[in-house]
Amino acid sequence: PSAGCGSLRLCSTRGSLRGINKAVVDRILRVDHAGEYGANRIYAGQLAVLGRSSVGPVIQQMWNQEKDHLKKFSELMVAYRVRPTVLLPVWNVAGFVLGAGSALLGKKGAMACTVAVEESISDHYNSQIRTLMEEDPEKYKELLQTIKKFRDDELEHHDIGLEHDAE
């Protein structure tokens, strides 16, 4: 790696910052970081209420994936020099309240919340994929791979919710 770079991946990302549509990337990363932060808080709220129930391990498994998503978007925010939304304190409280509140309705309420949230996030990711594909699929290859993988994870969470009586 070149001098002054702690991580090869971040160096390669910094090198490729030239020519990107900064406004588009900033918006995508800020929204995705906030969304994954909110999702983490929702699962934390659900687990606080239903952690010892039969659905606790399922919620924990989905939350673990969301933690990975948040970690990746946090890294990308640094690499692309994007500031987080000023609304993070709101997402912190609102996400936890939504998760705990839906879980207080029982397993079905928690899973209905999961299905609704994950469906919305998946639609959002699909829209971002279209935007980046129209911009330049080669230039945004790494970001596209990340978003596609996370979209697939969210769709899996959606389906898990349906399998656990979200209807």
CATH of the domain at 63: 1.20.1260.140
Q: Is residue 2 part of a domain?
A: no
> Is residue 7 included in any domain, yes or no?
no
pLDDT of residue 17: 77
Query: Is residue 157, in this structure, part of any structural domain at all?
Result: yes
Counting as low any pLDDT under 50, the low residues of the chain are 1-14
Q: What is the mean pLDDT of the chain?
A: 91
The CA-atom distances, in angstroms, between 58 and each of 10, 48, 54, 154 are 33, 13, 8, 14
User: For residue 16, is it within any domain?
Assistant: no
What is residue 91's predicted lDDT score, i.e. its pLDDT? 93
Q: What is the pLDDT of residue 3?
A: 43
Pick from 157, 152, 127: nearest CA to 28:
127
Structure confidence by residue, pLDDT tens digits, 24-72:
999 999 999 999 999 999 999 999 999 999 999 999 999 999 999 999 9
Give the model's pLDDT for residue 6. Answer: 46
CA 15 to chain centre: 25
Domain count, the chain: 1
How far, in Å, CA of 110 to CA of 95, rounded? 13
pLDDT in the model for residue 166: 72
Q: Flag whether 59 is in a domain.
A: yes
What SS3 class is residue 40? helix
Q: Which domain holds residue 33?
A: 21-164
Write the CA distances from 56 to 16, 70, 138, 148, integer angstroms: 42, 21, 41, 27
In a domain, 103, yes or no: yes
Res 18: pLDDT: 81
**Would 15 be classed as within a structural domain?**
no
Is 58 among the domain residues? yes
Between the CA of residue 163 and those of 29, 80, 98, what are the distances in Å?
Answer: 31, 38, 21
Q: What is the pLDDT of residue 4?
A: 46
Query: What angle do helix axes 56-79 and 22-50 make, rounded to 10 degrees?
Result: 160
